[in-house]
Structure 1
Amino acid sequence: MTPDIVTPTVPSSFQTFKTSPFHPTGSQSAVGIIMEKLAINVKLTLLYSIHLIFASNNQRTVEVVSKLLTDSKCSGLVSVFDVVHAQNERVYTDGELVNTFINHQSKPFTILESFNGSVMSLTENWKKEPVCRNVVIFGRQSRNLSSIYRQIKSQFFINKAAIVTRFSRQEATDILFDIQDEKVFVLLEKLGKDLELCSWAANNKTSEVIIAAHSTVNNELIKTGAINLSGRHLTIGTVHNPPAVRIVPPLTPEQKKTIGGIEPSLIETIANHLQFTYNYVEASPNEMWGEVYGHRGNLTITGLLGMLARKEVDVVVSNFYINNIRWPYVSYTVVYKFSYESFLVPAPQPYAKWKAVFYSFTLPTWLATIASAVVVIVMLRLVAAASSFQSDSPLRRYDVFADYPFCCLYVIGNLLNVQVQPQSILSTANRMFLIWWLFGTLILTTGYRSGLISYMTFPFTPAAIDTIQQLVDSPLKKASFSVYTIEALVNSSSEIDRTLGRELIPHYNLTGMFVSLESGAWAVESNVDNLLYMAATMYPTTTAGPKVHLIKDAILPSRVAFGLQKDSQLKLYFDRDIQYLIEAGIVDHLKSVFAKKMDKWNPKKTNSRISFSLDSLQGAFYLIVFGFALSTLIFVAEVVVKMFKRRQSIKSH
């Protein structure tokens, strides 16, 4: 929506005096008449001269404004004129100047009207135009000009803005400090004096340029903007989030907190180049980066985000993500790195050594082996019994396999690699059974021994959680500090992400969230660099194995930048220096300096000689103890049975 170009009603800047025909009376002398006519002519001459002066000054003002806003990349123009209501008509307060300005324009431009600090043509349905514009604001009320500028900026992409007015230099300075934009200029008109051009620079200082009445405009309009920040002091908000920012508390009351890490190192380098000083302000650990609560008109913004929105700090650092929730309240520098979110979970612990007796075979293998042994025992017994029953030879009647306990001991002995050789095998069928059985047991026992030795000498662990699906299916409780992460997952197009988002529990203490890993019941979410750092410092890998595990799947790829106040003029300076640091490899170098990595677990690293410790052979001793106990119980049972039978025999006699 663009308002129509209006042809303004321009009142004269001076009054037109009307005289009636002169009819002298008898009481008036000729000298008096002459003097009265002379006074009228002098008044008209003075008024005309003043009009010429104003017209000349207006022409000069318009010329300066035109030179100031000349920009081939942005030819669009928006002008804002202040109006007053007089006799049911709207008239411009700077009628002659407005008229001169309009007549000076050779291209179409947009005219807007302001009244009492409100731009009347702008409505809620106005759509922001995707083209840049230069802006000229004519006004006389200094208290309204900042508001008018912000209204225009909310609807147009402004390249440069000139505010033309006639108030004092102090009022101009107040406006510039309120707006804080290097591309905004205040042009002060001085009656009978030179023009004065005021501007603000990012070093938080204003400059004034006097444009002499007879000087060349091109030579007077010097370049504005500071090369550096010239000693400006910045307040920087931050939170503890290593390796991006690492805040170390003091060891003694006399010491101060030390702040280091990737981003403080970048700030130090940028400060040296841009020549600014700074101090850090730490946000509440329970708020960290901050969230937005409430509805429009009744918002509560916490953490670093709130500090920027309230203009309590100039810059924020500490892995400040770019997301759509923060956009309306802050600005960002260029992206200096990309990050991903993931989860740190309890590491699977190695199997107990005594389980090595069982873990050499899988459950199906164990079942197949036991079933095979049972089948062989039954077949040997049946074949031997049948052979003994059908034969008349006394030798066949005493076939060893006809004895059921012997068959069991023989088969078990084969499985345990204990060769029990019977003196005679009378059945041909049993010979065939034994040939294939012994061949099978050779393979089974070789595989079992290999697996047993492997499990006893090298720790084995269950498979770790490495995918989001496995994490969702696990009984672990999932924690996240960021409400934004939870909302992003819940609103995801992926069903597995939505399920994960619903299971995430918000945690309001980042350090406490990582401490919860010790219980073995929690999985915690954060950016990958932070997870690696915390794993390496809080849960380092020991000879007993890792304590935590970083899953391989990642979620929510994000861009990381420094946060700035909304429309901050520091952006131009920080963007330039950050880009230099990226191109020079300084950012990557700082990442490698401060980043941490999880050590890979190598149980053989500190012990080159492999020895079977008591821990490694605990399974064998457990079996021996179990066998002794079982044998003792059987022995006691046998003694009791014999004693019972003996008593029964004595009673019968």
Structure 2
Amino acid sequence: MLRILFVLSVFFFDQSSACVVPGEELLTLLQAHFRFVNFLTINVIQSGSCTQQIHNTANTLIKLLLKGQFEWTLQIQEIFLPPCFTHDTQQDVSFDASTNSQITVTEDILKLKKYSTEPGNGYLFIIWSPEKFEEFLDHHTSLAVPKSRCTYSILFVISSANTCGTIRKQIEHLMRRLWADFNLVNIIIQAPCSCQDATFIYRPFVKTRDSWGTLQSYTFQQITQNPTLLVTSLRNLNHFPVRVSLFEKLPTALQAVPNMLKFNPIYQDLSVSKEFAGSDGLLVGTLVQYLNFEAVVDPDLPRLYGHVLQNGSVIGVLALVLNGKSDYGANRRILSYYPVDGFEFTVAYSSDKISAVVPKSLKVPRGLSIFNCFDKLSWVLIFVVSFVCVFFWYLISRDNLYNTLKEIYSLLVGMSVQIVPSSYQTFFLTSCMIFNLIIFGVIQGSLFTDFTTPSYYPEINTVEEVDKSQLPIMTYVWLLIKDNSSQLLNRLKVKSIPESANMYEIVALYKNVVSIDRKFDVEVAIRTQFTGDDGVPLLHMVKEDIATFLLSCIVPKGSPYLLMFNNVITSMFEGGFIKKWDNDVVESIMVERINRMISAKKFKAFSLDDIQAAFYITGVGYVCSVVAFVGEIMKNKFREQQF
């Protein structure tokens, strides 16, 4: 039901001098045009000596609207401009309610409007002439165009003394301006007292000679027969040039297609995506094919996402979108708050985590292999158990301490010893022998593992450990993470240094810096670039994540393409194509790298260096044996001298 928030005073006027307009036709047209609107604002733009005619037209139209059954909430605003001086015949407008024609809004029309206009607000302007509306647009831009993707209608009251051709040229100039400056596509214009029942609609995606855009007019009968004429479709852009910002970024946007993908039908012709592969490039190609536009990619555009500097200036692709130099920032970016207005995010179609990447820990020297068999607690328990065994054997054997130590040591290390145990001593000695078998079995297995696979010192796996490492942190993510409540993150921010384009190489080579980046990028870099010939990663990604973000692209604020882009992007995401395209590139690069490593692999002969730990242990055993042998000789000589 129609609700009125504010109603103007009604002027009674002489209908004999009025310009008669078919009222039912107008109502039917407005109802079809404002199909997705539930809050309609009527702006009555007053102008000096033309006030009465404009006011009378508005009141008559409102009376007509009150007779209709619409689900609109109606708001009426009255705005005054400087006086209007005109030599045109000033006639009032009356609406004839004798027509019963209807416009059938089909499902196809609803789909077209759904992807070109946002439901909610609609705006109807009643004003004297196109010139006055341009004046209104100059001085009250926010009132003239509150939101770009809303539904608009303009009713000019200018009388028929002006030829329709002149009015048409003025309307075309206005429509071109509304498209160029505000990207309006859901707007119709009528001038009933100058151009009778003509409804003017601007088609920005129709090419005429060397330019784009044309003004078309339709009668009510034509619209009744073909209601799709009311909609400017974004489903087919007729090769309209759309400026796309897309730079190379492994693995989501790359121009050098991996060899394994060159024979894949999807990657054989990348002309629609401007020779870009990866999920970002193929998504652009999908948009081009689905919406039939021409993607214009500047090869000299900045190769960074862009952010807002402390002085308020903006750099990168973000600056191009804000300044209206790009219609679509195609490289998917972190969906976060930016302290600027003038752009919008598309629907989120992926997510990623923020993780720290640290240098790979050092190898454990071969000579220390035996100490890696157990952790510190295990070694402590082994010595404690040995001490308890000595103490217990000392109590039950009733021998001197020296013999007790020698006997238990021999049992624990597997040496032969002459003992004639009693029945209850047998159980204890058997348990000591089993303990010896288990411990030495574990040591032998660990030594074998160490000989076959290199071992490393413990890795950094928590954000707290990253902080304790006291290493400087190279990252950009503090521009996106606005949370200042975490003391841990604040300490990490203090350690930050400017990022570098080759920060992964710096972390892997110098091992004196930490980097924080998107987890997917880190994983891909480690798997495809920073893995040694022996298959060991040169970088280590901390297991604990710092934050989680959604990923999307950007368009200028009020972009007419946003709703249609969102529809295509959502379909690709729900179909699993985004993930599939990412996996194609990553797996192909990995296979290529493995093939190169295999072809370049050189075999070397087994050397003593590979088993040096065994020689160290054997040498220690020989030294201990010599010391024990010399000790026994010295002991025997000492005894002989006493006797």
TM-score by length of 2: 0.68
Q: Which one of 120, 124, 127 corresponds to residue 138 of structure 1?
A: 127
User: Which residue in the other structure is 1:6 paired with?
Assistant: 8
Which residues in structure 2 correspond to 1:626-641 (within 5 Å)? Answer: none
Instruction: Report deviation, 1:624.
Output: 4.9
User: Which residue in the other structure is 1:453 paired with?
Assistant: 448
Which residues in structure 2 correspond to 1:6-405 (within 5 Å)? Answer: 6-7=8-9, 52=17, 55-56=18-19, 59=21, 63-64=25-26, 67-70=29-32, 71-84=34-47, 91=51, 94-106=54-66, 109-116=74-81, 131-139=120-128, 140-146=131-137, 148=140, 150-151=142-143, 153-154=145-146, 158-162=150-154, 164=156, 167=167, 168-172=170-174, 173-188=176-191, 191=194, 195=198, 197-201=200-204, 205-211=212-218, 218-219=224-225, 222-226=229-233, 227-246=235-254, 259-281=276-298, 283-285=301-303, 288-293=304-309, 299-325=312-338, 328-367=341-380, 369-370=382-383
Change (3 A) 1:515 1:230: farther
Instruction: Report deviation, 1:479.
Output: 3.4
SS of 2:154 mapped into structure 1: strand
Instruction: Give the distance between the partners of 2:410 and 2:197, measured in 1 at CA.
Output: 116
- Which protein shows a greater Rg? 1
Aligned-partner residue type, residue 232 of structure 2? G
Query: Are 1:341 and 1:528, in contact at CA under 8 Å, matched by a contact in 2?
Result: yes
Residues 573-622 of structure 1 deviation map (CA, whole Å, 9 limit, x = unaligned): 3233334434544333312212359989x9xx999xxx996345322323
Residues 158-199 of structure 1 deviation map (CA, whole Å, 9 limit, x = unaligned): 334335376424422333332222112233466376635132
Instruction: Give the distance between the partners of 2:521 and 2:80, measured in 1 at CA.
Output: 53
SS of 1:56 mapped into structure 2: strand
Instruction: Report deviation, 1:347.
Output: 3.4
Instruction: Give the distance between the partners of 2:391 and 2:582, measured in 1 at CA.
Output: 69
State yes or no: 1:572 paired with 2:540.
no
Instruction: Report deviation, 1:229.
Output: 0.9
Instruction: Give the distance between the partners of 1:85 and 1:135, measured in 2 at CA.
Output: 20
Instruction: Give the distance between the partners of 2:296 and 2:551, measured in 1 at CA.
Output: 21
Instruction: Give the distance between the partners of 1:582 and 1:455, measured in 2 at CA.
Output: 46
Change (3 A) 1:196 1:135: closer
Aligned-partner residue type, residue 325 of structure 2? E
SS of 1:284 mapped into structure 2: coil
Instruction: Report deviation, 1:431.
Output: 10
Query: Are 2:223 and 2:230, in contact at CA under 8 Å, matched by a contact in 1?
Result: no
User: Which residue in the other structure is 1:557 paired with?
Assistant: 548
Task: Give the number of equivalent residue pairs.
Answer: 545
Instruction: Give the distance between the partners of 2:501 and 2:152, measured in 1 at CA.
Output: 44
Instruction: Give the distance between the partners of 2:459 and 2:541, measured in 1 at CA.
Output: 9
SS of 1:265 mapped into structure 2: helix
SS of 1:67 mapped into structure 2: helix
Instruction: Report deviation, 1:236.
Output: 1.0
Q: Which one of 414, 419, 423 corresponds to residue 417 of structure 1?
A: 414
Instruction: Report deviation, 1:332.
Output: 3.1
> Mind listing any 5+ residue stretches in structure 1 that lack a counterpart?
13-47, 118-128, 250-256, 388-400, 638-653
Instruction: Give the distance between the partners of 2:427 and 2:217, measured in 1 at CA.
Output: 117
Instruction: Report deviation, 1:265.
Output: 1.0
SS of 1:105 mapped into structure 2: helix
Instruction: Report deviation, 1:445.
Output: 3.5
349-358 vs 497-506, greater mean Cα deviation:
497-506
Instruction: Report deviation, 1:370.
Output: 5.0
Residues 440-477 of structure 1 deviation map (CA, whole Å, 9 limit, x = unaligned): 54554344334333433343344444444554455454
Residues 309-351 of structure 1 deviation map (CA, whole Å, 9 limit, x = unaligned): 1111010111223334378421233333233333333334443
Aligned-partner residue type, residue 174 of structure 1? R
Change (3 A) 1:342 1:215: same
Query: Are 1:94 and 1:138, in contact at CA under 8 Å, matched by a contact in 2?
Result: yes
Aligned-partner residue type, residue 175 of structure 1? L
SS of 1:209 mapped into structure 2: strand
Instruction: Give the distance between the partners of 1:310 and 1:169, measured in 2 at CA.
Output: 27
Change (3 A) 1:437 1:560: closer
Instruction: Give the distance between the partners of 2:23 and 2:314, measured in 1 at CA.
Output: 44
Change (3 A) 1:430 1:336: closer
Residues 239-290 of structure 1 deviation map (CA, whole Å, 9 limit, x = unaligned): 44322223569xxxxxxx96432111111122123222123236534xx222
Aligned-partner residue type, residue 505 of structure 1? S
SS of 1:301 mapped into structure 2: coil
Instruction: Report deviation, 1:365.
Output: 4.2
590-599 vs 169-178, greater mean Cα deviation:
590-599
Instruction: Report deviation, 1:569.
Output: 0.8
565-574 vs 496-505, greater mean Cα deviation:
496-505
371-380 vs 306-315, greater mean Cα deviation:
371-380
Query: Are 1:380 and 1:407, in contact at CA under 8 Å, matched by a contact in 2?
Result: yes
Instruction: Give the distance between the partners of 2:404 and 2:515, measured in 1 at CA.
Output: 57
Instruction: Give the distance between the partners of 2:393 and 2:567, measured in 1 at CA.
Output: 88
Query: Are 2:41 and 2:123, in contact at CA under 8 Å, matched by a contact in 1?
Result: yes
Query: Are 1:146 and 1:179, in contact at CA under 8 Å, matched by a contact in 2?
Result: no
312-321 vs 516-525, greater mean Cα deviation:
516-525
Change (3 A) 1:111 1:499: same
624-633 vs 351-360, greater mean Cα deviation:
624-633
Instruction: Give the distance between the partners of 1:429 and 1:322, measured in 2 at CA.
Output: 74
Query: Are 1:74 and 1:134, in contact at CA under 8 Å, matched by a contact in 2?
Result: no
Instruction: Give the distance between the partners of 1:156 and 1:99, measured in 2 at CA.
Output: 27
Cα RMSD after superposing both structures: 5.0
Query: Are 1:348 and 1:464, in contact at CA under 8 Å, matched by a contact in 2?
Result: yes
Aligned-partner residue type, residue 127 of structure 2? F
Query: Are 2:148 and 2:558, in contact at CA under 8 Å, matched by a contact in 1?
Result: no
Query: Are 2:528 and 2:586, in contact at CA under 8 Å, matched by a contact in 1?
Result: no
SS of 1:289 mapped into structure 2: coil
Aligned-partner residue type, residue 76 of structure 1? F
Instruction: Give the distance between the partners of 2:505 and 2:410, measured in 1 at CA.
Output: 53
Aligned-partner residue type, residue 617 of structure 1? I
SS of 2:61 mapped into structure 1: helix
Aligned-partner residue type, residue 475 of structure 2? S
Instruction: Give the distance between the partners of 1:155 and 1:569, measured in 2 at CA.
Output: 11
Instruction: Report deviation, 1:308.
Output: 0.9
Query: Are 2:125 and 2:153, in contact at CA under 8 Å, matched by a contact in 1?
Result: yes
Query: Are 2:355 and 2:517, in contact at CA under 8 Å, matched by a contact in 1?
Result: yes
Change (3 A) 1:69 1:181: farther
Query: Are 1:353 and 1:615, in contact at CA under 8 Å, matched by a contact in 2?
Result: no
514-523 vs 559-568, greater mean Cα deviation:
514-523
Instruction: Give the distance between the partners of 1:169 and 1:75, measured in 2 at CA.
Output: 27
Residues 94-152 of structure 1 deviation map (CA, whole Å, 9 limit, x = unaligned): 345334433433177322233459xxxxxxxxxxx995334334254243344546435
Aligned-partner residue type, residue 64 of structure 2? H
